[in-house]
Structure 1
Amino acid sequence: MTHSDQDRYAALIRRYFDACNEADYDKLVSCFTPDAVHYFPAGLPDVPWRSANTIARKWQWCVAELGSQWTIEKILVSHDSAEAVIEWTHWKTKLGTALRGDEWYVFDRDTCRIKEIRAYYASPADKGVAINELVAFDYHERGYHLKAQTTQPANAKTEEQS
């Protein structure tokens, strides 16, 4: 794999997160192969999410209903395979909560699109705390985002509008 491939995969992940935050259906779909799969830990309904369309619609719903915004904390792209791992924070601004976790990405080399994401949470989704994160990990000292950077798009289409 070349350094330019690594740069392309990192840029694709950033574009995907921008699309999530913007709730931009077309931009979201363009990040994935049509048959992409997004896996999650147990506890969420209707998982895994299968297809670029489903993934885009589910994230649009999260933005509309939960006030979801995401920040990327770290990105590591493999030097010898079409894979990457990131660390993220999912801010649910309407609920006043957040969840931290990691995702493993698998890319289609021919199209430079995401074909698989496997999400891992930093902790179980504990409804009794405002921010689900690692206990005693100094997020501030390590430069992590400590609040949502809300950029709710005025033109975001929800599932019902599309």
Structure 2
Amino acid sequence: MKKILIHVLFIAVVVGLGALIGVANIPGAWYQSLAKPPFNPPNWIFGPVWSALYVLIGIAGARTWLAHPASGRMQLWFGQMALNFLWTPAFFGAESTILGLIVIVPLLAAILVFIRASWHRDRISALLFVPYAVWVGFATLLNLSLFVLN
């Protein structure tokens, strides 16, 4: 029962904070006015994708916590989560493509380091982060493109 509770708690906190940050930093006129690259996805896709990713991130966090709550992997997990939650206010809140880049590049690095650190200790957690790494890699390219175009 304790394991289930930890999983539910991690998922609820990650999804809940992600949603709260998203609602507090809704893309407005500034974002709409930016020149966008041809591969820019429609706005409606971001909510469902991030919701699914946050569930995966929460599961990986719970697994890591249950295995070794004071480990370097857990510190990596919390570090990438802090960067993840910082990106939206940096990009949308501050209306700054460069500030978004300053946050998203280390975020992508932290995700990749977590995958590498987890690969032999908890392959499932590492694999849960792969879609997240792919999406943040794409988001990094998108953020860079928005910076260059604007």
TM-score where L is the length of structure 1: 0.31
Q: Bigger relative contact order, structure 1 or 2, given CA contacts below 8 A and separation 6+?
A: 2
TM-score (norm 2): 0.33
